[in-house]
């Protein structure tokens, strides 16, 4: 949630809707967790004005002051979440989606029944502590973007077919259909059943794995907010290389002890080099040498039907060797399939500012951040060429 280079503060409040009792409060300043807490009188006032509106049949969703945006959201008439953000550029949409992710994280750890039928507030407070690390990662300067796009953060490995084949074989040997390979919270490869996970668990589970401290293996009970909010599953994680993990969702079986080193060596030792090639993909997203125009500073590609996204602000710098931009743009006009828009900033000084161009083609949407040197007349052609180059990947 925090924006790089700003010192804005984000406060997140969670309260029991019926009593107004605070369950937890998390704060973040400048992208790092902060100890600063809101006074109880402020918490009470924020909750009170929301409840006052509800009693009059008025739903209070958001409010703005000179430097702060406030968003309220109730879940199942049992939990009220409030977020206050003084980060520059914070929008109501972004903050509302943050609250949706936070509630999903709460369900992930304690289950929906505990949140909709609160029997013991103090016990619930203790149980929710397990979710703090994940929730704090939503508030900080995460490189993941799935909370905003509501699509799974993905990367493109250089030898994806080999990894996919090994993953399918390992899943069958392990006895579970839900397996993914993740790097820094992004999905490298996954089984078909894993891709059928609903929202928000499809985003939450890889994000959780990426937010946890390094560990060779883990066995976590988790609830799936969409697929199984009241019956827990087990999340098993196995570290192949530092930052590169296997995630398995399963029932009582297999036990963690059954996933012995011999099973891992059988499927993954022959692929050690392709696995190592996945490690830089966390921040970059694309394999080294992928042809992108040198003017591209960042990109976001969404596949709205598959609910997957590719995001990076560290694209490779190789100059793409394609048709002249004018010819590519002419071809786009003839096809008459994309819809595009662009925004230019800093035009008052030549060579300064940046260019932002968006393009839609079928279920795919591409957003490019370009340097000031990129000519305005060529934005559509560059974006069209880039989208066609990325289409086979996502």
pTM of the model: 0.87
Same domain, residue pair 60 and 175:
no
Same domain, residue pair 59 and 92:
yes
Asked whether residue 331 carries a pLDDT value surpassing 80, the answer given is no
What are the residues whose beta carbons fall under 8 Å from the beta carbon of 256, sequence distance 6 or more?
Answer: 217, 219, 236
Same domain, residue pair 102 and 14:
yes
**Number of folded domains in the chain?**
3
> Looking at residues 134-141, what average pLDDT do you find?
92
Q: How confident is the model at residue 150 (pLDDT cuts 50, 70, 90)?
A: very high
The SS3 assignment for 336 reads: coil
Tens digits of per-residue pLDDT, 15-56? 999 888 999 999 988 767 776 778 888 888 998 998 888 888
Alpha helices in 270-378 (DSSP H): 272-276, 281-284, 325-335
> Looking at residues 3-20, what average pLDDT do you find?
80
CA dihedral 45, 133, 307, 278 (to 10 degrees): 150
Last residue of a domain, one of 282, 314, 331: 282
Same domain, residue pair 30 and 83:
yes
Same domain, residue pair 230 and 325:
no
Last residue of a domain, one of 223, 255, 282: 282
> Looking at residues 230-244, what average pLDDT do you find?
95
Q: 147 in a domain, yes or no?
A: no
Q: 287 in a domain, yes or no?
A: no
Asked whether residue 323 carries a pLDDT value surpassing 50, the answer given is no
Q: 271 in a domain, yes or no?
A: yes
Q: Give the angle 198-94-127 at the CA atoms, nearest 5°.
A: 60
Asked whether residue 192 carries a pLDDT value surpassing 50, the answer given is yes
- Distance set, CA 328 to CA 314, 343, 363 (Å): 25, 20, 21
Q: Which domain holds residue 265?
A: 152-282
Tens digits of per-residue pLDDT, 256-285? 888 878 888 899 999 999 999 999 998 889
Q: 290 in a domain, yes or no?
A: no
Quick one: which of 37, 147, 24, 128 has its CA closest to 81? Answer: 24
Q: How confident is the model at residue 344 (pLDDT cuts 50, 70, 90)?
A: confident
Question: Which of 131-145, 212-226, 300-314, 338-352 shows the lowest mean pLDDT across its residues?
Answer: 338-352
- d(C-alpha 252, C-alpha 238), whole Å: 17
- DSSP secondary structure of 25-77: EEEEETTEEE-----HHHHHHHHHHHHHHHHTT----EEE-SS-EEEEEEETT
Q: 90 in a domain, yes or no?
A: yes
Same domain, residue pair 127 and 162:
no
pLDDT of residue 325: 39
CB 140 within 8 A of CB 33: yes
Same domain, residue pair 113 and 168:
no
């Amino acid at each position: 949630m925090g924006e790089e280079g700003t010192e804005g503060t984000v406060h997140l409040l969670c309260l029991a809707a019926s009593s107004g009792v605070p369950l937890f409060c998390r704060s973040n300043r400048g992208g790092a967790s902060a100890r600063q807490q809101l006074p109880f009188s402020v918490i009470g006032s924020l909750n009170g004005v929301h409840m006052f509106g509800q009693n009059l049949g008025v739903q209070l969703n958001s409010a703005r002051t000179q430097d702060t945006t406030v968003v309220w959201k109730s879940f199942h008439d049992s939990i009220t979440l409030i977020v206050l953000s003084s980060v520059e550029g914070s929008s109501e949409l972004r903050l509302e989606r943050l609250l949706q992710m936070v509630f999903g994280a709460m369900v992930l750890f304690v289950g929906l029944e505990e949140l909709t039928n609160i029997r013991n507030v103090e016990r619930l407070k203790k149980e929710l502590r397990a979710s703090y690390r994940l929730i704090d990662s939503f508030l900080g300067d995460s490189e993941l973007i799935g909370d905003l796009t509501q699509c799974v953060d993905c990367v493109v490995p250089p030898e994806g077919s080999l990894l996919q084949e090994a993953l399918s074989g390992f899943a069958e040997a392990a006895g579970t259909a839900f397996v993914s390979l993740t790097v820094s919270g992004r999905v490298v490869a996954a089984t078909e059943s894993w891709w059928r996970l609903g929202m928000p668990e499809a985003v939450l589970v890889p994000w959780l794995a990426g937010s946890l401290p390094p560990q060779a293996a883990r066995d976590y009970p988790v609830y799936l907010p969409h697929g199984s909010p009241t019956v827990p599953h087990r999340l098993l994680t196995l570290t192949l290389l530092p930052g590169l993990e296997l995630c398995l969702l399963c029932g009582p079986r297999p036990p963690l002890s059954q996933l012995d080193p011999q099973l891992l060596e059988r499927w993954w030792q022959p692929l050690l080099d392709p696995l190592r090639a996945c490690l830089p993909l966390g921040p970059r997203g694309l394999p080294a040498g992928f042809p992108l125009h040198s003017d591209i500073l960042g990109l976001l590609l969404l596949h709205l039907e598959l609910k997957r996204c590719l995001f990076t602000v560290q694209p490779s710098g190789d100059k793409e060797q394609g048709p002249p931009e004018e010819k590519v743009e002419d071809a786009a006009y003839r096809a008459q399939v994309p819809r595009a828009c662009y925004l230019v900033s800093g035009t008052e000084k030549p060579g300064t500012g940046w260019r932002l161009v968006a393009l839609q083609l079928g279920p795919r949407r591409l957003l490019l951040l370009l340097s000031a040197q990129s000519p305005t007349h060529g934005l559509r052609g560059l974006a069209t060429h880039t989208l066609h180059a990325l289409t086979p990947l996502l």
